[in-house]
A = this chain, B = another copy of it.
Amino acid sequence: MMTHARNLLLLALAVAGVPAVAQPPARDTLVSPEVRPDRTVTFRIRAPKAAQVTLFGAWMPVGSQQPMVRDADGVWSVTVGPLAPNGYLYSFTVDGVTIADPVNPDIKLRQRTSASLLEIPGNPPEPWEIRDVPHGAVEVSWLKSKVLDGSTRQVFVYLPPGYGKSTTRYPVLYLLHGSGDVPASWTQAGKANLILDNLIADRKAAPMIVVMPGGHAVPFGSARAVQAKNTELFEEYLVDEIVPWVEASYRTARGRENRAIAGLSMGGGQAFNVGFAHLDLFSAIGVFSASGGADLAGRFQQQLAHPAATNSKLKVFWIGIGKQDAGYERAKQFSAALQGAHIEHPFVETEGGHVWAVWRWALSEYAPLLFRR
């Protein structure tokens, strides 16, 4: 025991007063973004040597920049709003260099470049805000693809609350992201998992699995001739690999009536093209902020020639877009052409541009329509 007593003393001396880990360096305590209860927001960036700093946010018209003003300490700031409760991407441009907010940890990951995410909470909470309800899980898998040259890609899968403890088989929504995005985008920026958690808790949507694969079948940034093959290759990837993998890996309800597809922008075009071509696989299509492509009549002769049959197969066909979207007129023409061919669908408009605020809304509107018995 004397030995131990001595060793304990040694131990105490050796480490007394020494913190367990290195202290982090003194931190900049700048707050950005600062969201106030009245939904005004102040953005700040410390850039003492900059000559010009501007803000771009997803609530602003594309291409515009809002000047920020420098204070005596070299902190540039601007106050905006009030903004509607939702999520918005934003970035700063400091002397011509566009960057995410250096102190905001909520960075939107994407294929190239980054932006920060601003969240404006609502009262009561909006459908995409985290609430005290049962939460589903999001499972990320790494899947090797033969179709995509043997590359290994991430797939995100939302499993509804209680999935792990039940023997239920669930219907599946395939949910596709936009150009430049990644498989994480629909959960990170779109809050798809929280939207489903809330809709399921409120009994506004059926419990479902949501599968979020990567939509860039050819590499992002490829030459235009290569990009032109993206939808076709993605269709093969989804139909030949992702759907069979999902059915083999998760407790899915089988049959076309238990499969829906939807997507935003590039993913909306994919949802239409893959879904409309495979009505044997899908009974619901959602097109968010997109249209269907250039060769409808050629590609979908069969579906368009027999609208009654097509309509009876498509339990849900929903097209929605923001009125300030640059693709608004094109989407409207797409809808009108389908209407002219007697393909039934609503064309639903909302305020907003080509932005996540609209896509959160679109998913919140579309998901409740699915898998109704």
Question: Hey, which chain B residues are within 8 Å of A225, CB to CB?
Answer: none
Contact of B111 with A105 in the complex, beta carbons under 8 Å: yes
CB of A183, distance to nearest CB on chain B (Å):
12
The answer, among B16, B19, B293, for a CB contact under 8 Å with A20, is B293
Contact of A113 with B102 in the complex, beta carbons under 8 Å: yes
Question: Hey, which chain B residues are within 8 Å of A107, CB to CB?
Answer: 100, 107, 109, 114
Question: Hey, which chain B residues are within 8 Å of A24, CB to CB?
Answer: 179-180
Question: Hey, which chain B residues are within 8 Å of A326, CB to CB?
Answer: 22
Contact of B21 with A269 in the complex, beta carbons under 8 Å: yes
Question: Hey, which chain B residues are within 8 Å of A141, CB to CB?
Answer: 135, 137
Q: Chain A 108-120 against B: per-residue CB contact (8 Å), 1 yes, 0 no? A: 0111111000000
Q: Give this chain's copy count.
A: 2
The answer, among B113, B164, B265, for a CB contact under 8 Å with A21, is B265
Contact of B294 with A20 in the complex, beta carbons under 8 Å: yes
The answer, among B22, B231, B304, B342, for a CB contact under 8 Å with A354, is B22
CB contact list, A140-168 vs B, under 8 A? 140-144, 150, 152, 159, 164
CB of A359, distance to nearest CB on chain B (Å):
13
- Does chain B have a CB within 8 A of A305? yes
Question: Hey, which chain B residues are within 8 Å of A356, CB to CB?
Answer: none
Also in contact, A268 and B21, with CB within 8 A (given A9-B297, A110-B105)? yes
Also in contact, A291 and B20, with CB within 8 A (given A12-B298, A103-B112)? yes
Q: Chain A 194-206 against B: per-residue CB contact (8 Å), 1 yes, 0 no? A: 0001000000000
Contact of B337 with A17 in the complex, beta carbons under 8 Å: no
Per the bound structure, the CA–CA distance linking A341 and B8 in Å amounts to 7
The answer, among B105, B290, B301, B342, for a CB contact under 8 Å with A109, is B105
Contact of B47 with A96 in the complex, beta carbons under 8 Å: yes
Question: Hey, which chain B residues are within 8 Å of A340, CB to CB?
Answer: 7, 10-11, 14
Contact of B294 with A19 in the complex, beta carbons under 8 Å: yes
CB of A332, distance to nearest CB on chain B (Å):
10
- Does chain B have a CB within 8 A of A175? no
The answer, among B21, B51, B178, B293, for a CB contact under 8 Å with A327, is B21
Contact of B135 with A4 in the complex, beta carbons under 8 Å: no
- Does chain B have a CB within 8 A of A72? no
- Does chain B have a CB within 8 A of A123? no
Also in contact, A138 and B135, with CB within 8 A (given A4-B305, A10-B340)? no
Question: Hey, which chain B residues are within 8 Å of A98, CB to CB?
Answer: 102
Contact of B11 with A304 in the complex, beta carbons under 8 Å: yes
- Does chain B have a CB within 8 A of A266? yes
- Does chain B have a CB within 8 A of A95? yes
- Counting chain B CB atoms within 10 Å of each CB, the highest count among A103, A142, A336 belongs to A142
7 closest Cβ pairs, A-B complex: A20-B269, A135-B142, A11-B337, A49-B95, A14-B337, A20-B293, A12-B297
Q: List 24 A-B contacts (CB under 8 A).
A: A11-B296, A12-B296, A14-B333, A15-B293, A15-B294, A15-B296, A15-B330, A18-B330, A18-B333, A20-B231, A20-B293, A21-B269, A22-B327, A27-B221, A46-B96, A48-B96, A94-B97, A105-B110, A132-B144, A135-B141, A135-B152, A137-B140, A137-B141, A137-B142
